[in-house]
Amino acid sequence: MSVQRVSEDELHAYVDGQLDGNRRLAVERWLADDAEAARRADDYRVQTALLHDLFDTVLREPPTDAEQDLTDRLKGRLAFNDNRPAWHARPVVRWAAAVMLVVAGAGGGWFGRGTQAPSPVAQQQQQQRQTLATFAQEATQAHRFYTSDERFQVELGADNQDELNGWLSKRMGRDVFGPDLGRIGFRLIGGRSLPTDLGAGAQYMYINDADKRITLFVGAPQSGNTANFSFTQNGDVSTFYWVEGPLAYALAGRLSKEELLEIAKAVYSDVKAGPPRRDPPQDQQRPQEQQQQPQQQQDQPAGVQPISDTQKPKDS
């Protein structure tokens, strides 16, 4: 069955995570057969990640008074499609609003005299909680989508885990790795790169002998403050999420809260310990050994023979 060709607008929407499930699956099938389109999608992901890194902090900044005033003026003009100001920008209304603000400010100052504004640290923590909640929702949606069809569950398999980790680290611009969960019965089958609200993200997928799949979603929050485990339930998918160091993690699966918590603890332990050290292949060790052997022979003094060769046996 032929797959309907995907337009550039749909390809951008796919990279940005804006397509619905059915159309996204169709795009995945198309990209699997079109190497050139898959390359363009990869390029778009890199561009999106760079744009997020460059401008996300700017977009989150509150507008200046001059910018807000200009925005309000433009809103008034566009509403009537001419140069007349909006109703709330008329002099009489502005004067009445100023009086109301003075009265409200005086009353608010009296009734709120015992309260204090949130500290910058508290505001940053609240913003991070909101951002992480969105991150957890994205992890849940990605888990639900990519575990539904085995043909498109990963972009790169786990046959060479070093290659997989290096590829995803390059996409994210940070060192990431898939923890070893073999001791609790889950093996890594591969991963993929995905756009998130935090920028470029990575998804690792695991499976156990009962054919149950779990996914580990990795992102890079702006603040990077350590956060303890939080839990969310979306239908039959449970998700634990937290921040450790410069990275955010979300573990999702169709498991009970208790089962998923034990796996999350194992993931957390591996993440804290860092990536495992792997010995170089045997074919890389042999040239080093061969280089050491001639050096050892050169270190021996020339012309020295064993004592057994220099002493003659005594005549009996």
pLDDT digits (tens, 9 = 90+) for 92-133: 555 566 656 655 665 555 455 554 555 555 555 566 567 888
The encoded tokens of residue 93 equal 């209304």
- Distance, CA of 14 to CA of 11 (rounded, Å): 5
pLDDT at 94: 59
Query: What's the rounded Cα separation, in Å, for the pair 7 and 82?
Result: 37
The sign of the torsion formed by the CA atoms of 198, 203, 204, 210 equals: positive
pLDDT score recorded for residue 293: 57
| pLDDT at residue 29, as a whole number | 82
Pick the CATH number of 121-273 from 3.30.200.100, 3.90.650.10, 3.40.1080.10, 3.40.50.300: 3.30.200.100
Hunting for tokens 């990279």 — which residue is that? 15
Smallest CA-to-CA distance from 200 within 174, 223, 162 is with: 174
Q: Retrieve residue 228's tokens.
A: 């303890």
| Residue 28 pLDDT | 82
Which DSSP symbol is given to 173?
T
CA dihedral 87, 92, 97, 102 (to 10 degrees): 170
Question: What is this structure's pTM?
Answer: 0.53
Domain spans in the chain, listed from the N-terminal domain onward = 8-59, 65-106, 121-273
Tell me the pLDDT band of 260, cut-offs 50, 70 and 90. very high
Q: Which residue would you say has higher pLDDT here, 193 or 36?
A: 193
The 10s digit of each residue's pLDDT in 136-183 is 999 999 999 999 888 888 999 999 999 999 999 999 999 999 999 999
* C-beta of residue 158 within 8 angstroms of C-beta of residue 188: yes
| H or E element in which residue 190 lies | strand 187-196
